[in-house]
Copies of this chain bind each other. A is one copy, B any other.
Amino acid sequence: MVAALDASKVQITKTTTPKEKLPNDQLVFGKTFTDHMLEIEWTAEAGWGTPKISPYHNLSLDPSTCVFHYAFELFEGMKAYRDKDNNIRTFRPIKNMERMNKSAERIALPTFDEEELLKLIDQLILTDESFVPQGAGYSLYLRPTMIGTTASLGVGTPDKALIYVIASPVGPYYGTGFKPVALEATDYAVRAWPGGVGNRKLGANYAPCILPQLEAAKRGYQQNLWLFGEEGYITEVGTMNVFFAFKNADGTKELVTAPLDGTILEGVTRDSIIQLCQEKLSSEWTVNERKFTMAEVKERADKGELIEAFGAGTAAVVSPIKIIGWKGEDIEVPLAAGDSGELTKSVAEWIRAIQYGEVEYKDWSRVAK
């Protein structure tokens, strides 16, 4: 009998040596962690084992474990926010669970009941509730992770796996307000391709991204913009989805992002922005998921039709873009609101208000209890 994941069986062992909490201004993304972590072991024979919340500790693994050799690993990125009533809220966490299961399926790791893992994550959040920072832009970054733990060098389906969740108190991605970034368009390296795994949140998609980012940094750009194919389709920026806003000759405007064609990460922030913009923007706007190229961006920038552009992801929510280096030339992106475009600023605020529970919108904000 193979057991399903069951949150009600959780065993909680509390730390006897609580950590000192850092002041908000010393928080570095993903560097310090809370007192506890969540773990659930899986075996092909027995299914999901007893969920355990216990003091944060090292993982002890045989050096032949498949996660070290064949990248049997996937993760999610989520944040928990403290609202004005001191509730702790997560933002559309079911989307992360659904994506995590899709990632697991793609590399032959086990799937799980999504609501059960959310209940366990809520338990972890409540156990470490005192680590969720106060203040605008502050949150508790959550990192659900799944690794294959079979100790064998044979390349095959793992018969053992581990879900674990760790949590790191984090500050706003930009110290005060926005800091628009300069991007370099990358055409010599390719992040993802049709028939590949670029639409899944696998470890495999990340290590190969560092070199192009280092190359961009050498030439003074903070991030790279991934192009695809001879056409130079715009796909993603660094580790975020990307949006461009154009105005047309007739005064109408368009917000555009690459379609989910299998090469694009299915970002929760991306999906949220599309939905919010479809609902909130005036009738002069259309919101499109369509293919578009670097050449189109350049042409419309030259004609004065590029309004603004931004990256979108959990860490920064939205990240305004000021410059794109392409074929030895810098394309300037307008920053009508100072450090970002007007739409970029609005989108960031719409999402922030939902995340911090100031505005209730659909079922997007989940209160941990």
Residues of A within 8 A of B (CB): 28-31, 33, 37, 56-64, 67-73, 75, 106-108, 141, 143, 145, 147-148, 152-157, 164, 166, 168, 188-190, 193-197, 202-211, 214, 239
Assess the A29–B153 pair: CB atoms within 8 A. Answer: yes
Q: With A164-B63, A196-B190, A210-B156 in contact, is A147–B68 under 8 Å at CB?
A: yes
Alpha-carbon distance A107/B37, docked complex (angstroms): 29
Chain B neighbourhood of A164, CB < 8 A: 63
Alpha-carbon distance A189/B141, docked complex (angstroms): 33
Chain B neighbourhood of A209, CB < 8 A: 155
Assess the B194–A29 pair: CB atoms within 8 A. Answer: no
User: How far, in Å, is A34 (CB) from chain B's closest CB?
Assistant: 12
Chain B neighbourhood of A194, CB < 8 A: 190
Assess the B208–A143 pair: CB atoms within 8 A. Answer: no
Alpha-carbon distance A70/B153, docked complex (angstroms): 20
Assess the B59–A37 pair: CB atoms within 8 A. Answer: no
User: How far, in Å, is A42 (CB) from chain B's closest CB?
Assistant: 16
Cross-chain contact of A30 among B57, B64, B108, B208 (Cβ < 8 A): B64
Chain B neighbourhood of A157, CB < 8 A: 210, 214
Assess the A70–B203 pair: CB atoms within 8 A. Answer: yes
Chain B residue with minimal CB distance to A153?
B30
Chain B neighbourhood of A59, CB < 8 A: 60-63, 68
Cross-chain contact of A141 among B63, B106, B153, B188 (Cβ < 8 A): B153
Q: With A157-B210, A195-B190 in contact, is A68–B73 under 8 Å at CB?
A: yes
Assess the A207–B154 pair: CB atoms within 8 A. Answer: no
Assess the B75–A63 pair: CB atoms within 8 A. Answer: no
User: How far, in Å, is A40 (CB) from chain B's closest CB?
Assistant: 13
Chain B neighbourhood of A58, CB < 8 A: 60-63
Task: Give the residue among A152, A153, A202 with the most B Cβ atoms within 10 A.
Answer: A153
Cross-chain contact of A193 among B28, B107, B143, B190 (Cβ < 8 A): B190
User: How far, in Å, is A91 (CB) from chain B's closest CB?
Assistant: 18
Q: With A60-B58, A193-B196 in contact, is A208–B214 under 8 Å at CB?
A: no
Chain B neighbourhood of A72, CB < 8 A: 207
Chain B neighbourhood of A202, CB < 8 A: 71, 207-208
Chain B neighbourhood of A153, CB < 8 A: 29-31, 141, 143, 168
Assess the A108–B210 pair: CB atoms within 8 A. Answer: yes
User: How far, in Å, is A121 (CB) from chain B's closest CB?
Assistant: 15
Assess the B166–A63 pair: CB atoms within 8 A. Answer: yes
Q: With A31-B152, A58-B60, A190-B195 in contact, is A203–B239 under 8 Å at CB?
A: no
Chain B neighbourhood of A208, CB < 8 A: 106-107, 196-197, 202, 204
17 A-B residue contacts at CB 8 Å? A29-B154, A30-B152, A58-B61, A59-B61, A64-B143, A67-B67, A67-B68, A71-B202, A73-B207, A107-B207, A107-B211, A141-B153, A157-B214, A189-B195, A203-B203, A203-B204, A204-B207
